[in-house]
Amino acid sequence: MQNQSLKYLESINNPPEFIRGFKDDKAVGFLRRILKRNYARFFIDHQEEAEQLVDSIFDLLQEAANAEDGVLEVFNDSTEKIINEFFHNHDPNHWYTQGYQHYKSVVKPKTFLNILEPYLVGPRILDFGTGKGHLAKLLISKGYEVGLTDVIDQLPSDMNNLDFRLMPDEATIPFENDQFDTVIVKTVLHHIEKKNINHIFSELKRVAKRLVIVEDLPFTDEYISKSMINEDIKDELIKEFLYGLTHEQRLIICKIMDYFGNVLAQGLYYINFPFNFHTTKGWMELGGEVGLSLIDTASIAFIDAGLHTFFQTILVFESDTQL
């Protein structure tokens, strides 16, 4: 898409199909409830405002999706309005800006490191797709030797002393063979084009002994069925997501949540959105094609500290030569 006036849709795979997802009232209604619950839990002093914020955003985007003419233009303009006027990204003193900065820099990295640390091996860690480096900074404070890489340099100035290396493209990792013991790949792979997935798995295997991957999971499979039995699930939203929605609705939810958390909440419209989601078995097969074996999996479901997360899976791979 070359039209500069549609910059908030340029990186989206099949924008018309993506926008049509906002017409599925059941999928969008579910996502409203998840986000309103997440926001109310986190923005404890602004619960009513936070819930109204979520509703206002979805009201505007659903109205745009149902526009009679120029849907792409209307949706793009609505996105710009949300970024600039709803989230107050340019006001450092706004309650949302301050709260979200604390979430991204402190709460989220601490929460996920507590979840992921049992799967890490060795002192040398690569944070692949590091973003603003918050997880890497926490790892370093705990004594790990950390490398950072991403296709975009978003690191704040106070992290210029870290070993960050800019990727020349989304399928090339600028580090040496076997330079790390573990590479953390947190919600990155679905942003990589399908044509490059096989190569990036090869690159990850080249630089590290172990891969610890976190991915959004819109699809149920035998791994989920074994670990999360319907009758044992206490959270009604988890139960509804797994058993009360269609495959297509869960995929719509994953796509919109990805867009919400990156483009709307942070203004990161320039990152890639091919929505390359897979089942646990699908990721296992992709790793297997380059000689990686899936040695462990776990589900992360609707954690209390999550704002834009809902259902994810942890996949731990090791090279066949390491087993």
The model's pLDDT over 186-227, given as tens digits with 9 standing for 90+, comes to 999 999 999 999 999 999 999 999 999 999 988 766 666 666
Q: Which residue, 177, 121, 114, is CA-closest to 295?
A: 121
**DSSP 3-state of 97:** helix
Q: In what order do the strands lie in the sheet with 180-186?
A: 163-166, 145-150, 124-128, 180-186, 208-216, 311-319, 292-301
Please give the single-letter amino acid code of residue 108: K
| C-alpha 128, offset from chain centre | 13
Question: Is 46 in contact with 31 (CB distance < 8 Å)?
Answer: no
In a domain, 80, yes or no: no
In a domain, 170, yes or no: yes
In a domain, 92, yes or no: no
Whichever domain contains 218, its CATH number is 3.40.50.150
Give me 18's structure tokens: 């993506």
DSSP code at position 107: I
Residue 242 CA to residue 240 CA, distance in Å, equals: 6
> Can you give the pTM of this predicted structure?
0.93
Q: Tell me what pLDDT residue 232 has.
A: 63
Q: Tell me what pLDDT residue 136 has.
A: 97
Q: Return per-residue pLDDT of the chain as tens, 323 residues.
A: 444 579 999 999 999 999 999 999 999 999 999 999 999 999 999 999 999 999 999 999 999 999 999 999 999 999 999 999 999 878 899 999 999 999 999 999 999 999 999 999 999 999 999 999 999 999 999 999 999 999 999 999 989 899 999 999 999 999 999 999 999 999 999 999 999 999 999 999 999 999 999 999 887 666 666 666 556 677 888 888 888 899 999 999 999 999 999 999 999 999 999 999 998 899 999 999 999 999 999 888 777 778 998 788 899 999 976 54
In a domain, 59, yes or no: no
Q: Tell me what pLDDT residue 243 has.
A: 85
The tally of domains found in the chain comes to 1
Give me 100's structure tokens: 């979200």
In a domain, 55, yes or no: no
**CA pseudo-torsion sign 228, 229, 232, 238:** positive
Residue 116 CA to residue 213 CA, distance in Å, equals: 9
In a domain, 317, yes or no: yes
- Look up tokens 């990805």; give the residue: 258
Domain that holds residue 157: 107-236+277-322
Residue 183 CA to residue 115 CA, distance in Å, equals: 15
Question: Is 304 in contact with 41 (CB distance < 8 Å)?
Answer: yes
How far is the CA of 179 from the CAs of 65, 105, 207, in angstroms?
Answer: 47, 26, 5
In a domain, 93, yes or no: no
In a domain, 34, yes or no: no
